[in-house]
């Protein structure tokens, strides 16, 4: 049997595993199983006769139409489809394929011209190898006293788009480099300043090595691992979280039920954790809040204008795939308590299934007081402890770690939080120089100023799919109705179209936005609503003519609202890698479509400006930012009134939260 015949037979075997009935799929939004991924890859390979030069960028579930999902009942037929992005290195062409796993065929095959898919993990490894083997690079580092390329660390950064003619059409990475003193040394302590290898990722060749002049390596290491830290604190006593009867949540495949919440989760290589069909049980009713939510994009622009630094910016969702960079989480370190883990399944660029074990963490945690009142007349005190459900994952993007956390509270509140940690991106400076666009975190070692800008896409469904959005400001009453000068009120302004809904925060007015179902009311006659409450935020510091602003115009507004469209998923467009800009939200909203009393998507942008400090080195303590979705006249009263008193932790089992002195 020839090699080609063996491959054909292998593909036929893999295709045979594509029948969903054999995989026990319980819901249309269940992520693709490893067998389904394998089958989808085999179907494309067999039916499109793919050359060895074709890479599989992503293989994900093609989500069924929303109405199909909303009308699904257990036992209904489930047609499974996969959405695949492919890159042919030989022709530099990108393709999108839709594969029916039910019918075992390629349903659609499209060439997408003039785009670059996200950089793949395999390319990271191959790029580093190509750089280290390049003679011009070896000569450049030799000028800096570095003789062993094996000790060099190469981080393949995206190249962006700066209108440079000779870069047009090439799939590029501008690699940043550091050197270790030994194999376990903290490499980011010693940047190889001014040396930028530029790599053609399709050919996996270094096309040039930019050299901006020799700057000495910083003299001090930044080691932080146990082999280097010899004196740890000795006054820390054990702190244990114990749930002797187990957690309060239930998991069925990827559906989670916790007290009154019902949540379905998914996982994609691009977005990481995805939440679907989030509802809260109110009496006998499962009341929907949103249909789908995920991190849709994040951009990290740096503020140093030097020739070898001005191109430093990254779109960690669209250019790398934050899900593909997810960690395998560890009990007792990343997650504490009674933990339930979900694995994530992606592919490498050859279409082989890769498992991210423990990619998503699910647990409960105590969160202090939920509510309390002491009636001094009756001398009775009522206190309830709050607990929250946590669904999270953590990704490592080169030097940085990002933790993404969804919190669900007993009172109907939903919170999204990003935790920033890891290692600062570093640069070397000459002895005695104090950098303007960064901070010295060690002698001759600078951490440049930068921002982290996130956008979360939320397909809202407050009590149903037809919603409207209002901007609410707390404002003083007009003088003629305010004789004592004390009057103020919450002023609501309808945002009727896409352009009207491009808004910014205003903390001086306590601004928030409420998502309302105009056809449903609570007992007092208020339309049922949730309010989006901003947390820490700012605007991008890059000027309007900056390349990164053209490519990520979503950063210019904190709020965007669009009518639902199945094809509008990413605020900087489907392919931001090396894209010149203008795609995504700025393009879609030019039509200024109506968004009142219709199926809408809310896009919220939030940013952290990071001016580094010495205390951020060698590993940065966690910084947090995010937002909340809080019920606003969604209920008739506090939905957490029925949370029972907590038992004492020690001794008598009598409740300790109902007290009378």
Catalytic residue annotation: 316, 400
Cα separation of 187 and 177, whole Å? 9
Phi and psi for 470 in degrees, rounded to 5?
A: -120, 145
Residues in the chain: 661
Which of 522, 503, 528 is closest to 513 using CA atoms?
A: 503
CA pair distance 108, 106, nearest whole angstrom: 6
For residues 123 and 405, give the distance between their C-alpha atoms in angstroms, rounded to a whole number: 29
How far apart are alpha carbons 321 and 356 in whole angstroms? 14
Q: Measured between alpha carbons, how far is 647 from 649 in angstroms, rounded to an integer?
A: 6
**What does the alpha-carbon distance between residue 562 and residue 309 come to, in Å, rounded to a whole number?**
35
User: What is the C-alpha separation between 124 and 120, in angstroms, rounded?
Assistant: 7
Structural tokens at position 586 = 């700025």
Cα separation, 213 vs 194, whole angstroms: 6
How far is Cα 433 from Cα 49, in angstroms, rounded to an integer?
Answer: 58
CB atoms within 10 A of CB 425: 25
Cis peptide before 618 (omega within 30 of 0): yes
Q: Which residue has the tokens 């209002």?
A: 470
In the chain the first and final C-alpha atoms are separated, in Å, by: 88
CA 134, CA 206: separation in Å to the nearest integer? 7
Query: For the chain, percent helix, then strand, then coil, each to nearest 5?
Result: 15, 40, 45
Could you give the 3-state DSSP secondary structure of residue 469? strand
Q: Which of 85, 78, 34 is nearest to 59 (CA)?
A: 85
CA distances from 316 to 269, 350, 548, 578, 655 (A): 11, 22, 13, 13, 48
Task: Tell me if 288 sits within 8 A of 261, measured CB to CB.
Answer: no
Residue of 317, 324, 326 lying closest to 349 (CA atoms): 324
Three-class DSSP category at 507: helix
Q: Which of 281, 242, 274, 241 is nearest to 258 (CA)?
A: 281
Q: How many CA atoms lie within 13 A of 54 on its CB side?
A: 19
CB 15 within 8 A of CB 106: no
């Amino acid at each position: 049997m020839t090699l080609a015949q063996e491959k054909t037979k292998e593909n036929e075997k893999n295709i045979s595993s594509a029948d969903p009935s054999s995989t026990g799929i319980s819901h249309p939004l269940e992520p693709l199983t490893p067998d389904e991924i394998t089958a989808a890859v085999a179907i494309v390979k067999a039916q499109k006769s793919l050359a060895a030069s074709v890479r599989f960028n992503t293989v994900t579930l093609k989500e069924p139409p929303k109405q199909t999902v909303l009308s699904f009942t257990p036992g209904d037929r489930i047609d499974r489809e996969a959405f695949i992005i492919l890159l042919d290195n030989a022709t530099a062409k990108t393709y999108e394929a839709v594969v029916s796993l039910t019918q075992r065929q390629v349903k659609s095959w499209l060439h997408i011209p003039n785009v670059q898919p996200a950089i793949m993990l395999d390319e990271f490894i191959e790029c580093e190898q190509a750089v280290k083997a390049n003679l011009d690079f070896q000569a450049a580092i030799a000028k800096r006293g570095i003789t062993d390329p094996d000790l060099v660390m190469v981080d393949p950064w995206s190249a962006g788009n700066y209108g440079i003619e000779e870069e047009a059409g090439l799939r590029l990475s501008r690699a940043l480099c550091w050197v270790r003193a030994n194999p376990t040394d903290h490499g980011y302590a010693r940047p190889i300043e001014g040396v930028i290898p530029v790599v053609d990722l399709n050919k996996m060749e270094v096309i040039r090595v930019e050299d901006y002049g020799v700057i000495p390596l910083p003299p001090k290491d930044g080691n932080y691992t146990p082999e280097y830290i010899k004196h740890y604190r000795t006054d820390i006593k054990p702190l244990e979280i114990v749930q002797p009867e187990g957690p309060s949540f239930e998991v069925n495949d990827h559906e989670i039920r916790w007290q009154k919440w019902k949540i379905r989760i998914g996982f994609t290589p691009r977005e990481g954790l995805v939440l679907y069909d989030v509802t809260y049980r109110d009496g006998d009713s499962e009341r929907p809040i949103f249909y789908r939510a995920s991190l849709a994009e994040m951009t990290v622009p740096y503020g140093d204008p030097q020739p070898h630094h001005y191109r430093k910016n990254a779109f960690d969702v669209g250019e790398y795939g934050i899900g593909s960079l997810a960690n395998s989480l560890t009990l007792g370190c990343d997650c504490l308590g009674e933990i339930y883990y979900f694995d994530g399944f992606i592919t490498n660029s050859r279409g082989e299934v890769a498992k991210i074990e423990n990619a998503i963490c699910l647990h409960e945690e105590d969160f202090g007081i939920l509510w309390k009142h002491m009636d001094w007349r009756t001398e009775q005190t009522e206190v309830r402890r709050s607990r929250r459900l946590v669904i999270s994952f953590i990704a490592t993007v080169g030097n940085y770690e990002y933790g993404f956390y969804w919190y669900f509270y007993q009172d109907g509140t939903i919170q999204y939080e990003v935790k920033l940690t890891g290692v600062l991106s570093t640069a070397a400076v000459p002895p005695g120089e104090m950098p303007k666009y960064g901070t010295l975190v060690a002698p001759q070692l600078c951490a440049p100023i930068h921002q982290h800008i996130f956008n979360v896409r939320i397909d809202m469904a407050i009590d149903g799919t037809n919603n409207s959005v209002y901007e609410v400001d707390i404002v003083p009453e007009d003088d003629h109705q305010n004789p004592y000068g004390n009057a103020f009120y919450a002023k609501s302004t309808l945002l009727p179209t896409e352009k009207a809904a491009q808004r910014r925060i205003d903390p001086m007015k306590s601004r928030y936005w409420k998502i309302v179902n105009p056809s449903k009311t609570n007992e007092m006659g208020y339309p049922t609503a949730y309010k989006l409450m901003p947390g820490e935020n700012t605007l991008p510091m890059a000027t309007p003519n900056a390349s990164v602003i053209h490519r990520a115009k979503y950063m210019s507004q904190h709020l965007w609202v669009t009518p639902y469209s199945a094809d509008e998923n990413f605020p900087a467009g489907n392919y931001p890698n090396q894209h010149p800009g203008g795609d995504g939200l700025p393009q879609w909203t030019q039509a200024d479509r109506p968004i009142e009393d219709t199926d809408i998507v809310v896009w919220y942008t939030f940013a952290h400006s990071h001016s580094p400090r010495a205390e951020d080195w060698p590993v940065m303590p966690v910084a947090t930012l995010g937002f909340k979705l809080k019920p606003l006249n969604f209920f008739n009263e506090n939905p957490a009134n029925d949370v029972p008193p907590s038992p004492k932790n020690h001794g008598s089992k009598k409740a300790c939260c109902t007290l009378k002195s």
